[in-house]
Structure 1
């Protein structure tokens, strides 16, 4: 299990690194890939880190395997070699990479543990997805399972396992059961967090290494924020 965090001068939290992959603990506000905002993406920061660390003279190869929403924190995996990237893409496409999330929600969920199945329809203009109980035109099935881990003051800590990877899936499905994520104004929470984050954290990733074939489990520490810190304590 990889849990040691290394902070760098590039303001990165490196959770794991070898010749073929690198795993970062993303901060709220960072974008994984470049977008229309023109803000510097995490992928470019990681390239700079690799270039400096290994004194690479030319361009640095880095493959983006998956993304996290901008206000979300936690694990982001990148491929450092062209050998690793297609193998990682195949793992993720085949649902062989197990991703676990933590979310802090406003209301107690209807059940302590449950499997949610919705049909998600994306509205590109709003950059938002809507969860429907029945299939609607242009919708995609979204499936997740959650377990309530503990109650923290006015919030509930949920652990979430994704079976599908849809746009804003966790955010929209939790809202559909009356449990908006703390800080998530877009999906029904009543106020934003001061730093623009939402309390959704990509907590754990388990996969078979694309080259060594060894089992790898990576856990991302939660942000340095009081509520998150309380959630992480046993």
Structure 2
């Protein structure tokens, strides 16, 4: 499998993760991003027997879009620190079922991870082991679909990085993501597989060596249902 590389230097690799490919190895044994990119490095640098590759952040397996990986331990530490201090910025595109009352806003909830079923849920403030989840959204356009009714193309600015955060928060607010068979009731009983309409569209971070801010983007223009909105993507 060929991975689209957006940028590469001695410190990091920015690439586009295809949907259905795990960010790292899992019990399925399917090809994952870490393994695929290590194969790329071995091919590009045959003298290096075991190249270093650090997982800076993750995307859920069904989600596609832009990711960054560190090629040195120093770069990994530098980028990971940005994740902690919120200077590492992540934006997503989603197609949600429904239309928000406001064209832009902020969602704040407390999420509790349910490891036994690989899901999360919104809980009351102060619930033991819960974590605050914050995201900002902007509605780019809403259209009418014959099967699913109103569909809204939204840009999400993720302020925190919680388990299944965007999927949980949007579903809780009545805006389940198109194709999400975990949290969107319209798709939970769907017998046919559908690609979740959630895409990592932009990453912004400080380069570990040059200290300059870099921005990389990926637009799923040909992926359904994003393709319904091609006139504004």
Question: Could you tell me how far apart the structure 2 residues matched to 1:105 and 1:208 are?
Answer: 31
Rounded to whole Å, the distance in 2 between the matches of 1:72 and 1:189 is 19
Relative to structure 2, which stretch is displaced further, 46-55 or 68-77?
A: 46-55
Give the alignment's TM-score, normalised by structure 1: 0.90
Q: Offset of 1:55 from its aligned partner?
A: 2.6
- The DSSP-based 3-state class of the residue aligned with 2:135 is strand
Matched, 1:176 2:172: yes
SS of match in other structure, 1:179: coil
Cα gap change, 1:223/1:42 in structure 2, threshold over 3 Å: closer, same or farther?
Answer: farther
CA distance in 2, matches of 1:71, 1:196: 10
Aligned counterpart, 2:64 = 73
CA RMSD of aligned residues (A): 1.8
* Corresponding position of 1:197: 195
Does the residue aligned with 2:116 lie in a helix, a strand or coil?
coil
Match of 2:62, SS state, is coil
Q: Contact 1:118–1:143 at 8 Å: present in 2 too?
A: yes
Cα distance in 2 for partners of 1:130, 1:136 equals 11
The alignment status of 1:103 with 2:101, answered yes or no, reads no
Shift of 1:175: 0.5
Per-residue CA deviations over 1:155-175 (Å, capped at 9, x if unaligned) read 101111111111000000000
Q: CA deviation at 1:225?
A: 2.1
Query: In the TM superposition, what are the counterparts of 1:30-179 in structure 2 within 5 Å?
Result: 30-132=21-123, 134-154=125-145, 155-179=151-175
TM-score of the pair, normalised by structure 2: 0.90
Are 1:216 and 2:214 an aligned pair? Answer: yes
Secondary structure of the 1:48 match is: helix
Q: Displacement of 1:133 after TM fit?
A: 5.2
Flag the 1:106–1:144 CA change in 2: closer, same or farther, 3 A.
same
Aligned partner of 2:9 in structure 1 is 18
Distance 1:17 1:57 in 2: 17
Task: Give 3-state SS (helix, strand or coil) of 1:205's partner.
Answer: strand
Residue 184 (structure 1) shift: 0.4
What secondary structure does 1:83 align onto? helix
* Matched residue SS, 2:73: coil
Q: How many angstroms apart in 1 are the aligned matches of 2:230 and 2:87? A: 26
How many residues were matched structurally? 225
Distance 1:233 1:213 in 2: 36
CA–CA distance in structure 1, aligned partners of residues 152 and 56 of structure 2: 30
Question: Shift of residue 180 of structure 1?
Answer: 0.4
Q: Which runs of 5+ in 2 are unaligned?
A: 146-150
Task: Please give the alpha-carbon distance, in whole angstroms, between the structure 2 residues aligned to 1:206 and 1:189.
Answer: 33
CA contact (8 A) 1:28 1:196 kept: no
Contact 2:67 2:203 in 1 (8 A): no
Q: Please tell me whether the aligned partners of residues 104 and 182 of structure 1 are also in contact (alpha carbons under 8 angstroms).
A: yes
